[in-house]
Amino acid sequence: MTAPTPGRSEPTEFLATEPGETAPGISPPAPPHTARARRARITAVLLAVAFLAVTASTRTHAVSSLDEYLHGVALEHRSPGSVDLARAVTRAGASTWLLLVVLLGGLLAGTGSLVRRTLAAALLTATCVLGLLARIETAHLVGRARPPRPDWAGAAGGFSFPSGHTTAATLGAGLLAWAFARHLSSTPARRGVVAGALAVALVVGWSRVWLGVHWPTDVLGAWLFAGMWLATARVAQLRLLPPTGFGTKRRRPQQ
């Protein structure tokens, strides 16, 4: 009987049997990328449901009491120093330079030839661009107005929901974390990269509320939208390029 290659699961039809020996009646375990795709699909669906629920609450064009309360808290506690900090932080969500960072990050995180690295960078950037375009279309469909202009302590434009800066920062940080974490063999190191991406998304979202240019649910909607987009992109990557394609590091069989 031929021993299976270490580190790989062999389909049932390829399991050899000796004469008179019955084949195992247990199906082989699913490849790891299949389980990851299933988890990503579940995550995408849950985030989509949550995003639709938040979106539905904004379609009445009425501001909830919670939004008004949190907006008032931000205005009440603002100081010149905190406003300057928020203005500096919010630049991390500027789409123009963020796309350049994603492109360069993809080149640095890519492996193999220059062509493969360029393809990885292009796929990362395209994922981010498409997400930002989808956010713009969603904002036009919802058509939510921003807080009153006298409350603003920073520049803003367009519709309010979901927050554009928060969406861009969450997408960019998430994609870069995705690209670089796969090179790390240490679980704490990978978690550190993910935590850094979450921190970027959180502080940029905070800055938009603190500057008075977004309602808190605009930021919540942006986090949900960007997370949904990243999870959907992960599903597409695992289905179209499994398991050693873009975004997945090739693992050597254990000896």
Tokens, residue 219: 């930021």
User: Cα 108 to the chain's mean position, in Å?
Assistant: 19
Predicted TM-score of the model (pTM)? 0.79
The number of domains in the chain is 1
DSSP-H helix ranges across 1-93: 32-58, 65-77, 80-90
Tokens, residue 6: 């270490």
Residue 250, in any domain of the structure: no
Residue 165, in any domain of the structure: yes
Distant-in-sequence, close-in-space partners of 92: CB < 8 Å, separation ≥ 6: 98, 169, 200, 203, 204
Residue 25, in any domain of the structure: no
Let me know if 236 is exposed, middle or buried by CB neighbors in 10 A (0-12, 13-18, 19+). Answer: middle
40 vs 211: CA distance, rounded Å: 34
CA nearest neighbour of 215 among 55, 48, 49, 50: 55
What is the model's pLDDT at position 77? 94
Residue 14, in any domain of the structure: no
DSSP codes joined into one string, 110-130 = --SSHHHHHHHHHHHHHHHHH
Residue 202, in any domain of the structure: yes
Residue 4, in any domain of the structure: no
Distant-in-sequence, close-in-space partners of 205: CB < 8 Å, separation ≥ 6: 163, 166, 169, 170, 219, 222, 223
- Domain around 181: 30-240
Tally Cβ neighbours within 10 Å of residue 93: 26
Tokens, residue 126: 């395209």
Residue 249, in any domain of the structure: no
How many CA atoms lie less than 13 Å away from 127 in the CB half-sphere?
32
CA nearest neighbour of 175 among 206, 132, 134: 132
CA nearest neighbour of 213 among 170, 138, 161: 161
Tally Cβ neighbours within 10 Å of residue 63: 16
- Letter for the amino acid at 116? R
Position of tokens 């036009």? 140
What is the model's pLDDT at position 28? 43
Residue 64, in any domain of the structure: yes
- Letter for the amino acid at 68? E
Distant-in-sequence, close-in-space partners of 210: CB < 8 Å, separation ≥ 6: 74, 78, 82, 83, 86, 153
CA nearest neighbour of 44 among 167, 219, 226: 226
> Could you read off the pLDDT tens digit of each residue along the chain, which spans 255 residues?
445 444 444 443 333 334 444 334 444 444 556 788 888 899 999 999 999 999 998 876 667 888 999 999 999 999 999 999 999 999 888 888 889 999 998 888 877 788 888 988 898 999 999 999 999 999 999 999 999 999 999 888 889 999 999 999 999 999 999 888 888 888 899 899 999 999 999 999 999 999 999 999 999 999 999 999 999 998 888 887 655 434 444 444 444
